[in-house]
Amino acid sequence: MGTRSQVPVNVDTDRLVRHYHNMCRVRAFEETALEALEQGLVPGPLHPSIGQEAVASGVCANLDADDILLSTHRGHGHTLVKGAAPLAMMRELLGRAGGCCGGKGGSMHIADFSVGMLGANGVVGANILIATGAAHAIRLKGETRVAVCIFGDGAINRGPFLEGLNWAKIFTLPVLYLCEDNDFAATTRTRSVSAGDGPGARAESLGIPSLAVDGNDVLEVDAAVRDTLAALRDGGGPRFIHARTYRLSGHTAADAAAYRDSGEVAERWLNDPIARAAQMLRNTGMAADALDEIAREARRAMRAVLDEARTTPWPEDRQAHLDVQDTLGPGLARAD
């Protein structure tokens, strides 16, 4: 991509700066979390979204606080841009008190219901049905907000994809399905196990209008999502967006991704959505320094977040038994 200069003519610079800022924060959050993992501070698995930040920002920056978002195991970026506090998120990753789930969920279950983020999910595809149901409730209650479900390219081969999309269409629900296609499902090239012409074709066979976008071009994602949300709010029923991106890191932090060659990854780094946004901004005349400062500031902020999170105490022991259910029954009265 290098010195590409195909800046959209009427680029909304403020908007692009906000996206750039969001993406830098997401990248910084995850890089900091990976450092924390290396230092032994993160007890569970991390699924980084490095290289996919344009999807997080392009989608989630378009959502109102009361719009509903469902995400995946790779959901830090979505959650952060939807408005969750990075400190509460970092505490969650570290399993500490004050984590957004009180330390009980970890990265795979990150959620902040106060900003409409109803959860990452440890089960691929399960979020599709939950988002569809949230949209069903919205419709039942006659509300105007919408639900958005982000899922990976791997999820399109699970039953809930069919059942959820069919459901949303027959009940004309206000839900946007966004397939964040990063080429991989764990160590598998998803296209090698996915029949047909891809996610969009499947959605269209169910009568759901679908768009394909370059998921590394934040403005393209942004524009597609904005238009689609407007259509959704008009009550036309569900919509589908297929965003093609690439997972620059391994599946988890522990995955060296030896199943793909380094040349491929190096080439894909040239298409880094953050670098692309920066280039566009430079093309509009913005100073490289100012851009760098945004990135540095994001890193400083996330380091501060980590510093605070790591000194936060563990959850109290009694939390282990709280929030199971109201009716505890005899089992919990026993010592074991």
Partner 1 sequence: MYRTPWVRVSRGPIESMAICSYLAAGKAALDEEMQRDATVWALGEDLGRGGVFGQYAGLAERFGRQRIVDTPISEAAILGTAVGAAMTGTRPVVEMRFSDFALCAIDELVNQAAKARYMFGGQTRVPLVVREPVGMWRSSAAQHSQSLESWYTHIPGLVVVMPSTPADNKGLLKTAIRSDDPVVYMEHKDLWGLEGEIPEGEHLVEFGRARVVRSGSDVSLVSWSKTVHTAAEAARKLASEGIEAEVIDLRTLWPWDEETVHASVAKTGRLLVAHEAVGVSGFGAEIVASVCEQLHDALRAPPRRITAPRVPIAYSPPLEDLARVTTDRIVEAVRQSMSE
Ligand X SMILES: Cc1ncc(C[n+]2csc(CCOP(=O)(O)OP(=O)(O)O)c2C)c(N)n1
Region 223-282 residues binding a copy of itself, contact defined as CB under 8 A: none
Residue 151: CB minimum distance to ligand X, A: 6
Residue 270: CB minimum distance to partner 1, A: 26
Scanning residues 231 to 270, which ones bind partner 1 (CB under 8 A)? 259
* Interface residue with a copy of itself, options 13, 35, 157, 188 (CB under 8 A): 157
Whichever of 74 and 239 has its CB closer to ligand X, that residue is 74
* Interface residue with a copy of itself, options 159, 264, 267, 314 (CB under 8 A): 159
CA angle 142, 144, 150 (to 5 degrees): 115
Residues 6+ apart with CB under 8 A from 18: 61
Q: In the chain, which ranges are continuous DSSP H helix?
A: 13-38, 53-60, 76-82, 86-94, 126-140, 159-170, 199-205, 218-233, 262-269, 273-283, 288-310
Look at residue 72 and give the partner it binds from ligand X, Mg ion, partner 1, none, a contact being a CB closer than 5 to 8 Å depending on partner kind.
Answer: ligand X
> How far is the CA of 71 from the CAs of 52, 81, 143, 207, 282, in angstroms?
14, 12, 22, 23, 32
Residue 139: CB minimum distance to a copy of itself, A: 16
CA angle 235, 160, 242 (to 5 degrees): 60
Scanning residues 199 to 218, which ones bind a copy of itself (CB under 8 A)? 201-202, 204-208
320 counts as binding a copy of itself under rule CB under 8 A: no
Q: Nearest-CB residue to ligand X?
A: 152
Scanning residues 267 to 306, which ones bind partner 1 (CB under 8 A)? none
Residues 6+ apart with CB under 8 A from 115: 65, 82, 83, 84
320 counts as binding partner 1 under rule CB under 8 A: yes
| Interface size with partner 1, residues (CB under 8 A) | 85
DSSP code per residue over 201-255: HHHHHTT--EEEEETT-HHHHHHHHHHHHHHHHTT---EEEEEE----S-SSTT-
Residue 325: CB minimum distance to partner 1, A: 4
Residue 89: CB minimum distance to ligand X, A: 18
Residue 192 per-residue DSSP state: G
* Interface residue with partner 1, options 164, 200, 238, 250 (CB under 8 A): 164
Residue 212: CB minimum distance to partner 1, A: 21
73 counts as binding ligand X under rule CB under 6 A: yes
Scanning residues 25 to 54, which ones bind partner 1 (CB under 8 A)? 43-45
182 counts as binding partner 1 under rule CB under 8 A: no
Q: How many angstroms separate the CA atoms of 268 and 325, rounded?
A: 47
106 counts as binding partner 1 under rule CB under 8 A: yes
**Among 30-38, 128-136, 147-155, 327-335, the segment contacting ligand X (CB under 6 A):** 147-155
Answer yes or no: are the C-beta atoms of 1 and 276 closer than 8 Å. Answer: yes
Q: How many angstroms separate the CA atoms of 188 and 183, rounded?
A: 9
144 counts as binding partner 1 under rule CB under 8 A: no
Q: How many angstroms separate the CA atoms of 26 and 267, rounded?
A: 22
Residues that bind Mg ion (CB under 5 A): 152-153, 182, 184
